Amino acid sequence: MRVLDKTLNAWQLGILMFVLLFANKILVLPSLLYEGAGFESIFIPVLLFLLEFGLVFLFYRLKTKFPNETFAQILKNHFGNVVKVIIFVIFMFFFLSKAVLLYNVTYIFFRNLIYKDYSNFLFLFCIIPIITHLAVCGLRVMGRTAQLFFPVIIVIIAFCIVVGFFGINSKPLLFEGSLSDFVLTTLKHVSSFGDSIFLFLIMDKAIVKKKQWKIVFGFSLISAILVVLVTVVFALSYTYTAFLHPYAIFEIMSYVKEYGGLGRIDIISMVVIIIFTYFHLAIYLKAFMLSFHEVFRKVNFVYPVITFNLIFLVVIDFFILNLEKAVVYGENVLPYIGIFPFVILPIAVGVLLLLKKRKPEKKDENYMKKSGVEVDETKKVQNSGGKKENLKMTDMNTENLNQVKAFSNENKKDKKFLRKVIGRRESETAN
């Protein structure tokens, strides 16, 4: 039994994009970037976000060309089943690896700061059921919950950044680091980006009208701007001592509290870290589940959940439960998986977009199939001499009907096209 995901609208998709692009970049990343590339590290997120936006744009192009197909179907149709399975295995590995790092960094942060006597077991107990529940409940539930928390998240982040500006009191040395340092640091942390490939997994569930794409891009842009601002504020607040302060957004607030005299103002930053961690881990688990189903079809949804949680527990328990090991893992192991979102996937999508030259007949049938209109080939052969209809509307459930309506409303040409196809079929049958 698979989890039947309902569709996401543009706002929900935009908010999920916001979480995906923001969450894992505000805690230890700014400090590590500064350590590697000096003050110029503020340009690294800018550069990597440009690549990330490239991915989002590729998704947009693919979605426009194949509006109702899943990424798995597209891959299977064009490259074959083996390539599809390989790519989805990499997807699984990618999201699982990132989930391990995200959990470890957050756990170490809270253990060092507040819960130093609480074991990893208790942390997992608070996290795993909730992320599993969010992932199993489906995309729409996740999207709506994120929508609910979004105003809180955005207000807290804006507050942290605005207050953070009060702590700035440094004049950094500009262009001190070498180009090689910059490139090396960028490559080391490339795996912190590329989360937007999640979009390819929910391609058929994302129902975005033509004019609503700006919402998705807008949220992504806001997220990118906020990450860059956090990095800049951190670099200017902790110039030369960034290596002593590993947790960026928390450190910004804790430095400011003395200047502003606002007591434990830094707790606000912890709230946003907790919310983000839940959503981000839930998205990773969801991505793992979706990939798992493409690799092992017809399995119950319990299997991917158990697989994810088991591997997750084994890896975090045996490999990385201190910050030093987590950083080594993040800087030396994970960068290799960055090849997937920024090299392999763009090449695959680029080829798909170039290969998009379908024959009209096949196109018609595909279109109708995906629109919920099924062509009954057997009946067509049986009734070839007669005048009966060879078109049969089957399995047109509400979901598919909505998809057809949404798509047809979006583009009047397609509506005409659909009528034309049906008309042509009818005339062929008549002849």
Partner 1 sequence: MKLQIKHFFKTPMLLVFVAMIVIFAFGALGTPAEINRYAIVTAVGIDLLGDDEEVSGNKYEISLLTFVPVAQQNFAERYKMISSKGRSVSEAMDFAGLHIGREVGLSHVKMVVLNEELLKDDVSNFLDYLIRSIQLSSSTKLIATDSSAKDFLSVAQQLDSESSIKVSELISYNKNYVYGTDSSLETFFKGTYGPTKVGLMSFVSVESGEGEGISASVIDSQNGGSGASGGNSQSKESSSSQTKEIINDGETLVFKDGKEVLKLTGADVEKINLIKGNYRTGAIEIKHFTDVVFNDANLTFEIFDQTNNFKVKFENGIPVIYIDTSLTVRLSEVENSGESPKENIELLAMTDEAIDAIIKEVKLSMSEGIELMRENQVDIADFYTSLYNSNRKAFLKFLEELEDPESYLTHAVFKASVRVYSK
Residue numbers at the binding site for partner 1 (CB under 8 A): 112-113, 122, 125-126, 129-130, 133, 169-176, 238-241, 244-245, 251, 254-255, 257-259
Q: How far apart are CA 272 and CA 256, in angstroms?
A: 17
Contact 18, 219 (CB under 8 A): yes
Separation CA 267–CA 238 (nearest Å):
19
Is 198 exposed, middle or buried (CB count within 10 Å of its CB: 0-12, 13-18, 19+)? Answer: buried
Shortest spacing between CB 404 and partner 1, in angstroms: 35
Given the complex with partner 1, which of 122 and 274 has the nearer CB atom?
122
Q: Which is nearer to partner 1, 125 or 336 (CB)?
A: 125
Helix, strand and coil percent figures for the chain, each rounded to 5: 75, 0, 20
Dihedral Cα 197, 215, 248, 128, nearest 10 deg:
-60
**What's 357's DSSP letter?**
-
Q: Specify the residue, 107 or 200, whose C-beta has the smaller distance to partner 1.
A: 107
Contact 41, 231 (CB under 8 A): yes
Report the number of secondary-structure helices (H) and strands (E) in the chain: 20, 2
* SS3 at position 8: strand
Residue 373 Cα distances to 364, 368, 419, angstroms: 11, 5, 12
Q: 25-59 b/e with 16+ CB inside 10 Å = b?
A: bbbbbbbbbbebbbbbbbebbeebbebbbebbebb
Which structure tokens are listed for 172?
């950094």
Q: What is the closest distance, in whole angstroms, from the C-beta atom of residue 84 to partner 1 in the complex?
A: 32
In the complex, the smallest distance separating the C-beta of residue 149 from partner 1, rounded to whole angstroms, is 16
What's the closest the beta carbon of residue 378 comes to partner 1, in angstroms?
Answer: 42
Q: Which is nearer to partner 1, 176 or 399 (CB)?
A: 176
Using alpha carbons, select from 21, 325, 346, 322 the residue that is nearest to residue 200. Answer: 346
Contact between 268 and 156 under an 8 Å Cβ cutoff? The reply is yes
Whole-number minimum distance, CB 129 to partner 1, in Å?
4
Comparing CB distances to partner 1, the nearer of 122 and 314 is 122
The smaller minimum CB distance to partner 1, of residues 259 and 336, is found at 259
Minimum CB distance to partner 1, residue 174 (Å): 5
For residue 5, which amino acid is it? D
Q: How far is the CB of 324 from partner 1 (least distance, A)?
A: 13
Going from the C-alpha of 226 to that of each of 117, 202, 286, the distances in angstroms are 33, 25, 25
Nearer to partner 1, 34 or 71 (CB): 34
Of 27 and 349, which CB lies nearer to partner 1 in the complex structure? 27
Q: Which is nearer to partner 1, 154 or 321 (CB)?
A: 321
CB of 357 to partner 1, least distance (A): 48
Q: Which is nearer to partner 1, 104 or 254 (CB)?
A: 254
CB of 230 to partner 1, least distance (A): 18
- Closest approach of Cβ 282 to partner 1, in Å? 13
Beta carbon nearer to partner 1, 170 or 409:
170
Nearer to partner 1, 259 or 303 (CB): 259
Confirm if 289 and 4 have CB atoms less than 8 A apart: no
C-alpha span between 287 and 91 (Å, rounded): 8
Six-digit token pair at 373?
């209109």
Closest CA to 17 of 156, 245, 195, 268: 195
Give bridge partners of residue 391 from the DSSP assignment: 375
Residues near 177 by Cβ (< 8 Å), separated by ≥ 6?
Answer: 37, 38, 39, 40
Smallest distance from the beta carbon of 308 to partner 1, in angstroms? 17
CB of 264 to partner 1, least distance (A): 9
DSSP 84: H
